[in-house]
């Protein structure tokens, strides 16, 4: 009897882990944003942060009232010139790609985001071999992080779960 109870307990835990993982998946219709540094030198990492902050501010203005994936994608595609202007304030050695781009697996605040090709804006500085920064532009997870910088991991997971349930319905 004891083995059955232990077995059921373990099965329940495994089911809850897989169920919870599905709750946190980024929907197929999502736009990501990634900035890849030239290298991991302090100078290159600081440049990455400056570019990210400057571009992110502009993108937030563009997407703040957008409530659909297609609108967000169109706005991003139609405003690459603004993104170029923002990046070129800091460097002339960069590439910008809006479209399908590879993202490595990332775990953030207890949520695992799978590796793969995603619709996105990717800014590669120099040779692009340094550490990167990324977030999700739509749904607006980048903006959540900016507004709720002190959001605890548990709150973040609950918010993400609720946000994606609302999108599905």
Q: Which range marks the domain in which residue 122 is found?
A: 2-168
Tell me how far apart the alpha carbons of residues 45 and 132 are, in angstroms, rounded to a whole number: 9
Q: What is the mean pLDDT of residues 76-82?
A: 95
Model pLDDT, residue 21: 44
Q: What is the pLDDT of residues 42-63, one digit of tens each?
A: 999 999 999 999 999 999 899 8
Q: Is the pLDDT of residue 83 over 90?
A: yes
Model pLDDT, residue 67: 84
| pTM metric for this prediction | 0.72
| DSSP 8-state code for residue 26 | P
Q: Which H helix or E strand runs over 36?
A: strand 31-36
Model pLDDT, residue 2: 55
Tell me how far apart the alpha carbons of residues 164 and 151 are, in angstroms, rounded to a whole number: 18
Q: Count up the domains in the chain and report the number.
A: 1
């Amino acid at each position: 009897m004891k083995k059955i109870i232990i077995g059921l307990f373990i099965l329940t835990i495994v089911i809850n882990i897989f169920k919870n993982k599905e709750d946190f998946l980024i929907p197929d219709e999502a736009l990501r944003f990634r900035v890849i540094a030239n290298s991991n030198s302090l100078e290159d990492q600081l440049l990455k942060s400056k570019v990210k902050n400057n571009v992110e501010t502009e993108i937030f203005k563009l997407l703040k009232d957008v409530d659909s994936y297609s609108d967000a994608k169109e706005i991003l595609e139609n405003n690459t010139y603004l993104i170029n202007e923002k990046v070129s304030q800091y460097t002339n050695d960069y590439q910008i790609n809006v479209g399908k781009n590879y993202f490595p697996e990332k775990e953030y605040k207890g949520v695992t985001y799978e590796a793969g090709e995603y619709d996105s804006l990717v800014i590669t500085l120099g040779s692009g071999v340094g550490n990167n920064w990324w977030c999700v532009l739509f749904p607006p997870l980048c903006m959540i992080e900016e507004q709720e910088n002190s959001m605890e991991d548990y709150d973040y997971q609950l918010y993400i779960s609720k946000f994606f349930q609302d999108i599905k319905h």
